[in-house]
Chains A and B, each alone.
Chain A
């Protein structure tokens, strides 16, 4: 069993004035297909930077990121866009639906970027909206929907391209606790049923506990990794590889 994502010695250094700020200070880990990973940390810990670099939105200062056998740290922007179009779904904190499009058009948008014709992309979009449980909301405009509904549209939009990996940046950050549970339930269900890989960033340890595996980030280091022992996928990985997934942990002194 090969890891889907391999990260080695990843650094991100910001130059602020003459000071060097280490947003990420050499992290290394593997992620396997079917895992639900939560990257947990406080604000400014480097968790978001890590996610951005995994999704190819930011270039690392040094280090290796390999996704599905491809070195995305070596890609230029046009290649990264193409890579995301083919492999990556993205769920945003503030949903980021296009206000001029209705729900089903929003879901179908990533397929439009692939050049798929109107009829077939609408068909796929409706299928995923059914799956998410908002099949009846297709014609609503984003501003007519509640936050929970909008985020479901966002999830459907991330799923519609049939991605290898889904990245989620504080997907429940703008939702109340009840809706948060619904959305997390939904995401977990999809990950396990459809065998997707989900990488979620959150600051909330409670939300992170939904994941199969948590990576705790403090000051650019991974300081702890928590594996949910009851998770079937983690059991499977342990059985196949004989060990827990690789993760270089630097405990705080």
Chain B
């Protein structure tokens, strides 16, 4: 049964966690993630979940507790943002390397400094090589859906998943959305049965041993190859969810792409603003479209190439910078198109760092620059020039 609700992105994450009912949650508060754990700890206090909630003294400890609990055989979830994610980075890498299916909600926030609590993607983009699967969410409803997908996906491929949403823009905004009833979710996610786990006293194992030049490389190769199984598994997993929620899910979402000549690529909440702008420009007869990236890790190279072949020009919006190189999303898109025959012109726009607003006028400007060919290879959106004050 589907229920309509008005919830914030943070509440949507907490609601999914309540329905998943993980065995262990360990987390440390940080803006703008805090409302997720605020809400979830209320569920714990009121006995709505069976979760063992572990209060820890830092994010490094939060992820360490998650690693221990997951290795022990539990379903484990957590949440963080920005500097918290940076502090737990060491254990983020270990969680993935130990092949533990932990699900973490990351509320995207700019990494300091200078210190800033608002949205950009510098935190999760800095984690793109950690071997975590990354799902990005356009709105509160997708936060909810991505949590359900993430849990199943993680347990299928033994890799942890980050479910990302934009700090404040999504986490603190109330939006209309749909949720499933508890029983349906329980049936959908099923029971977690790990093959090996520390609390299985009938079959003792060693987790996290020393691993030098004898086997480390083989274990890394396993991780690289596990990532190649993620997209096919995603397609299997979302089939049932599509039936339950009456919606299609894919690693990419196209918007008016079939006959579009000019395309904008984005992820998280900006994808919604791009769609809104396309609705407006389509009424004026413009052949514009969009590609939204739901899954950034593993990156759907072939799918991107399929959608973009033959387009006139494409603008990639990046809400983070890779200092000394190009924007992380732009980098992937360019790489995806290298082997294609009819390559579109692809340009980069860095925007929205530290929560700088991106509005309809900005998106219109990008489409205009694509259409009249004035876009440079690398551009900024909504930032002062050096000589402006």
Do A and B belong to a common assembly? no
